[in-house]
Amino acid sequence: MDMNKAKEYIGLVVETLNSLNHEQIQNAAEAFYNTYQQGGNIYVFGNGGSGATASHVTGDFLKGASYGLDKRFRMICLNDNIAAMMAIANDIGYEDIFIEQLKNYIKPGDLAVGISGSGNSENVVRALQYAKEQGVNTLALTGFKGGKISKIATNWVHADVQDMEVTEDVHMVIFNIIKKEMQSRLMGDNPSMGTVYDSRVS
């Protein structure tokens, strides 16, 4: 293995993290918190690696940012329902796999979070545009040049890098930052994640 390439990759991740706009992250965190306070749903969606990030962060919020709370985060990953996505893609079109699901759920006080490295994935573009037209708060996470969704979303967090893998790594860090901020606000600085977890990591 060429460790110089590994060091180069790590360096690019660190450089991109250091270049993040802190105000963008703060605004994204406030969007999550305000939606939680209003009892709204948070819809997260993306394709490929971005879809995996959407699924990961949904799991983190349903458990990690909600454990022990009477009022919990209401989060739905739109790319987790394979049957729904396949039916929509087969009968209507892949570009509509997220917007058609939003039509079932979306209501005032919700938050739609679209993740796209390029910012131009058509199904993410359509879903965020629809959410915006419904008066719902929107958040876009992008890389590269930001793409179309950077201009659609109410809030935008940008990984300023021309590399898809680094973009995906940075997006996960951003979501972890937001999750830890929500934990701090709602649970304190050292929340329990469950007795089994606590004993396992102690």
pTM across the whole model: 0.97
Token pair of 65, please?
């940012």
Number of domains in the chain: 1
Cα(140)–Cα(169) distance, rounded to whole angstroms?
A: 16
Q: What is the pLDDT of residues 38-90, one digit of tens each?
A: 999 999 999 999 999 999 999 999 999 999 999 999 999 999 999 999 999 99
Could you give the residue ranges of the DSSP H alpha helices within 39-189?
48-59, 82-91, 99-105, 122-133, 149-152, 164-187
pLDDT, mean over the chain: 98
What are the distances in angstroms from CA 65 to CA 56, 89, 177? 13, 32, 11
Domain that holds residue 54: 3-201
Token pair of 32, please?
């999550």
Contact (CB, 8 A) for 88 and 102: no
Cα(148)–Cα(140) distance, rounded to whole angstroms?
A: 10
Please tell me the predicted confidence (pLDDT) of residue 2. 84
Looking up residue 156, the CATH number of its domain turns out to be 3.40.50.10490
Q: In what order do the strands lie in the sheet with 111-116?
A: 74-77, 41-45, 111-116, 137-142, 155-158
